[in-house]
A and B are shown apart, each in its own frame.
Chain A
Amino acid sequence: MFFTKLKRVIRAGFMSFWRNGWVSLASILVVVITLFTIGSLVFFKGGLDALVAQLKDKVDITVYFKPEAQEQDIMTIKTAVSKLSETKDVAYVDREQALESFKERNKNNALLMQSLDELGENPLGASLNIKAKEISQYESIANFLNSHMNSGASDYIDKINYFENKRVIERLSVLTDSAQRFGVIISLVLAGVAILVTFNTIRLTIYSSREEIEVMRLVGASNKFASGPFIVEGVMYGVVSAIITMIMFFPVTMWLGALTENFLSGMNVYNYYIQNFGQIFVILLIIGVLICSVSSFIAIRRYLRV
């Protein structure tokens, strides 16, 4: 009995969806716009995250050691820094590597090369390249290193560049934080507006069926049996809209791909779409189905009081 009724409700929903083609189309269009907005926000967030990650990646602390520093001392510092909870990564650049990269950077500067040759020995010291998990954590890592400096390590540490870059790092930290916060607020506002518009559209389609719902009740349909098909229709709006939106993103991201790659250097929105296809689709599907079925449910409740 339950399954017979369920089958009938689903069939009635499908039939109504199909026969009220224009109403369905209009609703789907609005839902597609909503999902497109939400999907764009997903891409926007992806782009913003990539941008922020890039900026963060450019920030580090470098500890320069004096040329005569012992590798053992350097390793002690490296191990100590690695153990800090704020540290993401420590890279050790020994003296030879430092010289190599110096030569590579200045290979066109003949004078510098010549004087380096004349010097006969490697004038450069080793260095440690430290990356923190968050930009705000550089301060504490720098303080930790500083305390080492004060307790004898200054014999072999030449300088720590954090204090030179401090202002830039702090500003970058504020910038990335506010960019992310701004992104979240914009997303919430846009998504809120889109959801309200969808809710109202679905309410209107159900409003136009209010007399039918009343008739269904009067010929003996239970609330569930009368309202079920409308919920099924809502679910279908959501599913169809999610599929259409995903298809629409294909040419749009392809077109924007190269552009975003230049702008965000590395983040290609088209690749992002392809790589995260399943995830984005599931997000849009869930949001679409939820918005539409919940809207239908809320809208229909007031017409069931017959």
Chain B
Amino acid sequence: MIYFNQVFKIYSADSVALKDINLTIESKEFVSLVGRSGAGKSTLLKILLAEEAPSKGEVFFESVNIHYMPRRKLPFLRRKIGMVFQDFRLLSGKTVFENIAFAMEASGRSTKDIEENIPYVLDLVGLTDKSHRFPHELSGGEGQRVAIARAIINRPDVVVADEPTGNLDPENTREIIRILEKINELGTTIILATHNKGVIDSLGKRVVTLEDGKIIRDDKKGKYTL
């Protein structure tokens, strides 16, 4: 489903973010990307979202080489990939409901569709009673749950979570991971970048380890080892 073929990302001669990445991710997989800060996790995800282009190599999403896509087609790719960030990145001027609705509006879903679907995802992430709050009125855990709701509302094929628990306490971390697992059980591929050992060990799923921009380990049922 997602296929990285000999991907390099070179910023300058002494700043090489990714070296010869070959990675295949199947549909409905739950893959954790681990590695120290600067190992290349975020760069890998940015390339997948076409936020950045690889210096060499190609990236396929289903059968499409995403870096040969015309720019105006990018929104269509991004609607198939739900994105969750470490710092949530909610739209501060919009309520919880509107933040989630924005992703649906952007993809042209009908108002009726929006009104029917949002209560369902709010229930899934446990925020039904906070739909009219603004982001600054939410706790960190709640903010991240809104971000997850926004990421899954368009029923994407993949949810990419870049250090989603980096700013959260252990309890909220467990909660977020539990939600991600649930989404995965419902049939969505999950790519989780993290350096939280506890999270990885409790998951018991595929772990891809990056070091200095290279994949050094890829275990089907991995543990966090560096």
Contact = CB atoms under 8 A, between A and B. Distances in A.
Interface of A: 1, 4-5, 8, 15-16, 19-20, 211-212, 215-223, 225-226, 306
B110 interface: yes
Given A4-B111, A306-B51, A219 B105 contact: no
B51 A225 contact: no
> Taking each of A4, A19, A221, which has the highest tally of chain B beta carbons within 10 Å of its own beta carbon?
A221
A230 to B, nearest CB: 12
What secondary structure prevails in chain A residues at the interface with B? helix
B216 to A, nearest CB: 29
B106 A216 contact: yes
Interface of B: 49, 51, 72, 74-76, 78-79, 83, 89-94, 102-103, 105-108, 110-111, 150-151, 154
Nearest to A226: B106
B223 to A, nearest CB: 31
Nearest to B109: A4
Nearest to B108: A1
A73 B57 CA distance: 99
29 contacts: A4-B110, A4-B111, A5-B105, A15-B94, A16-B93, A211-B89, A212-B91, A212-B92, A212-B93, A215-B90, A215-B91, A216-B91, A217-B74, A218-B49, A218-B78, A218-B83, A218-B89, A219-B83, A219-B102, A219-B150, A220-B75, A220-B79, A220-B103, A220-B106, A220-B154, A221-B75, A221-B102, A225-B75, A306-B51
Contacts of A221: 75, 102, 106
B102 A216 contact: yes
Given A15-B94, A220-B79, 10 more contacts: A1-B108, A15-B93, A212-B93, A216-B106, A218-B78, A218-B83, A219-B78, A219-B103, A220-B76, A220-B103
A29 B103 CA distance: 33
Contacts of B150: 219
Given A215-B91, A218-B49, A222-B75, A8 B103 contact: no
B133 to A, nearest CB: 14
A260 B102 CA distance: 55
A229 to B, nearest CB: 10
A163 B72 CA distance: 74
A218 B93 contact: no
